[in-house]
């Protein structure tokens, strides 16, 4: 299949849209983190401290890994796999939160370290995966060196706007309308839809990074 | 237009209370704490800028007298259990409730939970609060403390939940799951007294949640107070005649604190005056701070 006129593996609006979704989902999960942990570790400032620390560290690692991965044949399939795996690794937050927090509560007397440990177990993997999206999406859009800063700026812009929207939507409205787990299912669904959009758009552009009978798809 | 502005200004001026002298002020991790002295009366105020909320006041000339009606109302639980041997108070404030308990029942074990260490030192420095051999303060989140107490099998005869008087509502202390944990640490003949919200949509949500966990409870309100106190226990509530009898027996003992126990039984009602169709609050759904207006 011939490549589209534009050389990048995905069209700019597609990458911008899914970057928005990932920013949105990161903050939705982060805002709900305090609510999820309060029954075991309370509502003190240190619980927020644990959550934010873990999210920052996980994102930092994600940026590093995502950047590294973008060096080798950047393509839509790998990009979509970040969304799918982030969605899958978010499932334990919905399905096993109590099973994860109860033994930690029993083993760690100090709620500060208890909440830190619980945050690591529940949030570090999906957040790292979501962090990998940012540098990778920059690579997908950059065709020429001169444009790299502009593309990075655009993607930081949309994903941070997404984060702002996720924060506000979750804390102002979603918690008033829905149960915590339903909101999390919503985030998982949004990530999977983003992955589907990437796969369809990548297939149409022949940028999935696969070769079938000599053709790139 | 002009007259509206004028009346607005007038309202504002009237709303400002007679200013006392600020003798202490600090910003803790959780709130702004102000201690104000007005003649012999000393008050602890949280978040003074957002509409005055006197948390606790004491009269230095008669420190054992309870100044606020909601503080006095917290002792209505004595009508259901008049000789508690173990007492848990969640929320220290100025410490009047635990100190009154300590004075009334010097042999009872009293555990106090307060999340804010700054409140503990202010209570000690300005409100004559003292820990004793039998009374200890734990700086902790009430939910965490109560969950652990439940796991360790500790139980109490008298539990006061008084963590809801600040500006921010701790949403994890309003849920069905939390109340079930409280139930676990209450002795079979123990009593639960919860100082809760009397206005706003939250009243309905809270009422249906308490109803779900405790089946029935006394709704205790006084015309002079904006507070609603929920009083309940495991199993059926006693007949009203028992309350009146207990009030007569105990009235004299609590007189020096200014607690008008004899007036209380008539004000304790089991009538449903809330919207039963409201959603109950759970760990999954507890937007207390969004439901307050």
Which of A41, A45, A175 is nearest residue B144 as measured by Cβ atoms?
A: A41
CB contact under 8 A, B141 and A111: yes
Contact residues, chain A, for B282 at CB < 8 Å: 179
Residue B67 pLDDT > 50, yes or no?
Answer: yes
- Per-residue pLDDT band for B15 (boundaries 50, 70, 90) equals very low
- A207: enclosing H helix or E strand: none
Domain boundaries of chain B, sorted by first residue: 69-290
| Residue ranges of domains in chain A, CATH in brackets | 12-216 (1.20.1250.20)
CA of A129 to nearest chain B CA: how many angstroms apart?
A: 26
Which of A43, A45, A106 is nearest residue B172 as measured by Cβ atoms?
A: A43
Give the Cα separation of A54 and A41 in Å (integer). Answer: 16
Which residue does chain A place closest to B290, by CA atoms? Answer: A176
Reported for B210-215, long-range contacts at CB under 8 A and 24+ positions apart, including other chains, are B210/B179, B212/B176, B212/B280, B213/B176, B213/B179, B213/B180, B213/B183, B214/B179, B214/B183
- pLDDT value of residue B211: 96
Residue that the structure tokens 């075991």 belong to: A40
- Per-residue pLDDT band for B200 (boundaries 50, 70, 90) equals confident
Kindly provide the residue ranges of all beta strands, DSSP E only, lying in chain B, ordered along the sequence. 21-27, 32-38, 41-46, 54-59, 86-90, 109-114, 135-139, 156-161, 186-196, 218-221, 228-232, 268-269
Q: Which residues pair with A215 in a beta bridge?
A: A212
pLDDT above 90 covers what percent of chain B? Answer: 68
Sheet strand arrangement including B228-232: B135-139, B109-114, B86-90, B156-161, B186-196, B228-232, B218-221, B268-269
Radius of gyration of chain A (CA): 18
Which of B142, B143, B285 is nearest residue A179 as measured by Cβ atoms?
A: B285
- Does A40 lie at the interface with B, CB-CB under 8 angstroms? yes
- pLDDT value of residue B14: 47
The CATH number of B69-290 is which of 3.40.50.150, 3.40.50.300, 3.40.50.10260, 3.40.50.620? 3.40.50.150
Contact residues, chain A, for B140 at CB < 8 Å: 42, 111
- pLDDT digit string, tens, across residues A35-72: 999 999 998 889 999 999 999 999 999 999 999 999 98
- pLDDT value of residue B138: 97
With contact defined as beta carbons under 8 Å apart, do A34 and A43 qualify?
Answer: yes
Give the Cα separation of A120 and A133 in Å (integer). Answer: 20
- pLDDT value of residue B230: 96
Residue A26 pLDDT > 90, yes or no?
Answer: yes
Which residues of B have a catalytic role annotated?
162
Complex confidence, ipTM: 0.86
SS3 content of chain B, % helix, strand, coil (to 5): 35, 25, 40
Q: Which residue has the higher pLDDT, A63 or B240?
A: A63
Question: Whats the size of chain B, residue-wise?
Answer: 293
Taking residues B161-172, report their average pLDDT.
80
Residue A132 pLDDT > 80, yes or no?
Answer: yes
Which residue does chain B place closest to A38, by CA atoms? Answer: B172
- pLDDT value of residue B50: 56
- pLDDT value of residue B19: 64
- Does A217 lie at the interface with B, CB-CB under 8 angstroms? no
CA of A68 to nearest chain B CA: how many angstroms apart?
A: 38
- pLDDT value of residue A143: 86
Give the Cα separation of B216 and B105 in Å (integer). Answer: 28
CB contact under 8 A, B178 and A176: no
- pLDDT digit string, tens, across residues A82-94: 999 999 999 999 9
Contact residues, chain B, for A103 at CB < 8 Å: none
- pLDDT digit string, tens, across residues A199-216: 999 999 887 877 666 676
Q: How many CB pairs under 8 A join A and B?
A: 58
- Per-residue pLDDT band for B167 (boundaries 50, 70, 90) equals low
Tokens of A116: 């830190």
- pLDDT value of residue B291: 83
Question: Whats the size of chain A, residue-wise?
Answer: 217
């Amino acid at each position: 299949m011939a490549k589209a006129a534009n050389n990048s593996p995905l069209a700019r609006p597609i990458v911008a849209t899914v970057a928005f979704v990932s920013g949105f989902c990161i903050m939705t999960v982060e805002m709900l983190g305090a609510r999820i942990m309060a029954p075991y570790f309370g509502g003190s400032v240190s619980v927020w401290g644990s959550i934010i620390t873990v999210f920052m560290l996980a994102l930092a690692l994600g940026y590093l890994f995502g950047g590294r991965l973008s060096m080798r044949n950047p393509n839509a399939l790998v990009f979509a796999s970040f969304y799918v795996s982030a969605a899958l690794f978010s499932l334990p937050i919905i399905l096993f939160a109590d099973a994860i927090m109860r033994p930690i509560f029993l083993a760690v007397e100090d709620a500060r370290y208890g909440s830190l440990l619980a945050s690591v177990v529940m949030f570090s993997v999906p957040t790292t995966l979501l962090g990998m999206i940012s540098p990778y999406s920059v690579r997908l859009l950059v065709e020429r060196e001169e444009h790299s800063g502009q593309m990075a700026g655009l993607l930081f812009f949309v994903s941070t706007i997404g984060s702002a929207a996720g924060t506000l939507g979750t804390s102002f409205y979603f918690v008033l309308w829905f149960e915590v787990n339903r909101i999390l299912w919503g985030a998982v669904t949004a990530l999977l839809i983003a992955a589907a959009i990437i796969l369809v758009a990548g297939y149409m552009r022949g940028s999935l990074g696969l070769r079938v009978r000599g053709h790139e798809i | 237009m002009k007259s509206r502005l004028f009346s607005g200004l007038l309202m504002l001026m009237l709303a400002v209370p007679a200013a006392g002298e600020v003798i202490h002020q600090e910003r803790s991790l959780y709130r702004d704490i102000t201690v104000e002295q007005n003649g012999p009366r000393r008050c602890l105020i949280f978040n003074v800028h957002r509409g005055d909320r006197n948390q606790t006041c004491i009269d230095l000339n008669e420190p054992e007298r309870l100044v606020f009606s909601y503080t006095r109302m917290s002792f209505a639980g004595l009508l259901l259990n008049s000789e508690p041997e173990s007492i848990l108070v969640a929320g220290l404030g100025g410490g009047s409730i635990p100190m009154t308990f300590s004075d009334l029942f010097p042999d009872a074990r009293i555990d106090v939970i307060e999340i804010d260490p700054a409140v503990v030192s202010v209570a000690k420095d300005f409100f004559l609060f003292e820990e004793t051999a039998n009374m200890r303060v734990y700086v902790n989140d009430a939910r965490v403390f109560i969950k652990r107490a439940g796991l360790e099998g500790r139980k109490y005869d008298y539990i006061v939940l008084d963590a809801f008087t600040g500006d921010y509502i701790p949403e994890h202390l309003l849920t069905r799951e939390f109340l079930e944990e409280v139930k676990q640490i209450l002795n079979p003949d123990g009593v639960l007294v919860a100082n809760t919200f009397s206005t706003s949509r939250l009243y309905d949500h809270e009422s249906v949640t308490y109803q779900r966990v405790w089946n029935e409870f006394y709704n205790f309100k006084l015309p002079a107070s904006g507070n609603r106190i929920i009083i309940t226990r495991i199993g059926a509530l006693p007949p009203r005649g028992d309350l009146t009898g207990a009030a007569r027996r105990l009235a004299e003992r609590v007189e020096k604190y200014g607690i008008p126990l004899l007036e209380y039984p008539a004000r304790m009602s089991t009538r449903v005056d809330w919207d039963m169709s409201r959603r109950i609050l759970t760990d999954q759904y507890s937007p207390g701070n969004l439901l307050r207006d």
